[in-house]
Amino acid sequence: MKVAFVASECTPIVKVGGLGDVIGSLPKALHNLGVNTTVLIPGYCTIDYSSWVKTENFVIHFAGEPLKIEVFSTQLPGSVVQLTAFRENKYIGSGGVYFSKTAFSSSQDEINRFVVFNEAVACWLSKETNKVDIVHAHDWHAALLLHLLDDGGVKVKKVFTIHNLANQGMSSLEVDAKLGGHIDHDKLLAWDATDHSLDLMLQGLGRADWITTVSPTYAKEILTPVFGEKLEEVLRTREGRLTGILNGIDYDFWNPRHDPLLKNNYDQSTYKLGRKENRIHLEQLVGLKINPQKPLFGFIGRLTNQKGLDLILESLPEILRNGELLVLGKGAPEIENALAQKANESNGEMVYVNTQENFHEDFEHLMYGASDFMLIPSKFEPCGLVQMIGMHYGAVPIAHSVGGLRDSIEDGHTGFLFADYSAKSLTGAVNRAAALFQVGDIGSIIEKGMSQDFSWGKSALEYVKLYEKVSKL
């Protein structure tokens, strides 16, 4: 069975968020189970192609002009999984990975870029030499591909994964005209166009043979108006072919025993000394006060209100009463500015590291290897990887009980969950965690978290079973 993963990110080549981690890890785990996997990504201008091999050129048409596509291939580091990038100068090669620091679709130019990528992939997959059994497309960036494959008569089974339903890829109708005009002969496009726009996420949901999302709880949540992002009715019509499979993490990459970016490596028997020395090193590195009597709270992620930054800002007095805070990320300018101001006023008890201006990969790994608690107060969280990595490194998660956070954290045993999306509820969980830290009773929670297995093995087996089911449809 040959499966082509199509996505906008792939760690370690291109990473902005958790999507990149999944695409960089799951195909390798599936390959170990006998699935012939390949990964297809846009050929961004930020990629270093010096070790890649150029395999072919071809031409597609968009907006009435010919576009030259160059295809480059390599292998995912540490594996034999083929990674293919589609280069094109005018659209795909313009700018960074996303056009907005929040990673949400922000302009028609960005929509056009990924539509050109989808057209290039559809053309490439239509060739007999590139034939696959299943196309596994991820999020709106690859959603229109499913229509283009159908329209081009490519016989292939299609799986579509929702990583974040809120980011849908809303487009003007002009994109259809630039592709040559499909609305008049396609019922789903015509129905979607009745509001004078196209929802690319909807195109993936309507055309997939099977839909997955990245945790069992999120798969249930998106069927409701609270989490369905105005697509819950569409999703309910497809409920019989909707499955939630929890993401995993790559323990070859995320492992405190041999992580080269930690000051001190450790395992479950040596974590106390190793994490203590890592914390001192991190505090010195970023300018935090060295105060081992108080816990260090960490936050890693996009700076948007979806990630709960409004709750963190509202709860800052209580968080800083209990301990120190280190925030690592980039995102909405108003949140960046608010964090920078609060850090300046904190007298060394809070530091904000803007990854747009001053990113060192060491910071992220050191935060996991040094923070006592990871704050994950997301309004919604399809899966989340911070809690899984945090637990493996001994950084106890404090999280809103939604989506994959609920599926992966056991309250009071491997972390702390709070039910209501409010600053009061968050500070209640912070106070519970800090109280255990102060009396020295946090060790059992750290050790239970470190012993959890969030490797890709179990989830990859679920995908194999799903692919086998889809192949028989």
Q: Encode 314-364 in three state secondary structure.
A: HHHHHHHHHCEEEEEECECHHHHHHHHHHHHCCCCCEEEEECCCCCCHHHH
Query: How far is Cα 138 from Cα 211, in angstroms, rounded to an integer?
Result: 10
Centre a 10 Å sphere on the Cβ of residue 117 and count the other Cβ atoms it contains: 27
- Give the residue range(s) of CATH 3.40.50.2000 domains in the chain: 2-248+457-471, 271-450
| Helices and strands (H and E) in the chain: how many | 17, 17
351-360 contact pairs (CB < 8 A, 24+)? 351/286, 351/287, 351/288, 351/325, 351/326, 351/327, 352/327, 353/286, 353/326, 353/327, 353/328, 353/329, 354/329, 354/330, 355/328, 355/329, 355/330, 356/101, 356/330
Query: How far is Cα 270 from Cα 258, in angstroms, rounded to an integer?
Result: 13
- Please report which confidence band the pLDDT of residue 356 belongs to, taking 50, 70 and 90 as the band edges: low
- With 0-12 / 13-18 / 19 or more C-beta atoms within 10 angstroms meaning exposed / middle / buried, residue 59 is exposed
**What tokens does 16 get?**
């902005």
Mean pLDDT of 277-284: 94
- Please report which confidence band the pLDDT of residue 397 belongs to, taking 50, 70 and 90 as the band edges: very high
Is the pLDDT at 210 greater than 80? The verdict is: yes
Mean pLDDT of 166-192: 90
Q: Which amino acid is at 16?
A: V
Q: Give pLDDT tens digits for 220-247.
A: 999 999 999 999 999 999 999 999 999 9
- Please report which confidence band the pLDDT of residue 101 belongs to, taking 50, 70 and 90 as the band edges: low
Mean pLDDT of 161-174: 93
Query: Quick one: CA dihedral 127, 21, 216, 331, positive or negative?
Result: negative
pLDDT of res. 331: 87
Query: How far is Cα 281 from Cα 266, in angstroms, rounded to an integer?
Result: 15
**What tokens does 355 get?**
């990854």
Is the pLDDT at 336 greater than 90? The verdict is: yes
pLDDT of res. 465: 97
State the average pLDDT for the chain.
94
Best CA proximity match to 300, nearest among 289, 292, 312: 312
pLDDT of res. 323: 96
Chain centroid, CA 318 distance in Å: 29
User: Is pTM beyond 0.85 here?
Assistant: yes
* Cβ neighbours for 291, distance < 8 A, ≥ 6 positions apart: 324
**What tokens does 71 get?**
């295809």
pLDDT of res. 360: 63
pLDDT of res. 440: 86
SS3 assignment for 56-95 = EEEEEEECCEEEEEEEEEEECCCCCCEEEEEECCCCCCCC
Is the pLDDT at 103 greater than 70? The verdict is: no
8 A C-beta contact, residue 430 and residue 442: no
Q: Give pLDDT tens digits for 31-66.
A: 999 999 999 999 999 999 999 999 999 999 999 999
- Please report which confidence band the pLDDT of residue 368 belongs to, taking 50, 70 and 90 as the band edges: very high
Q: Give pLDDT tens digits for 419-449.
A: 999 999 999 999 999 999 999 889 999 999 9
The CATH T-level fold of domain 2-248+457-471 is Rossmann fold (3.40.50)
Is the pLDDT at 337 greater than 60? The verdict is: yes
- Please report which confidence band the pLDDT of residue 24 belongs to, taking 50, 70 and 90 as the band edges: very high
pLDDT of res. 359: 52
DSSP codes of every residue in 95-106: SSS-SSTT-S--
pLDDT of res. 413: 97
Mean pLDDT of 282-299: 93
pLDDT of res. 15: 84
Is the pLDDT at 21 greater than 60? The verdict is: yes
pLDDT of res. 107: 85
pLDDT of res. 361: 67
The CATH T-level fold of domain 271-450 is Rossmann fold (3.40.50)
Mean pLDDT of 254-258: 96
3-state helix, strand, coil in the chain (%, to 5): 40, 20, 40
pLDDT of res. 4: 98
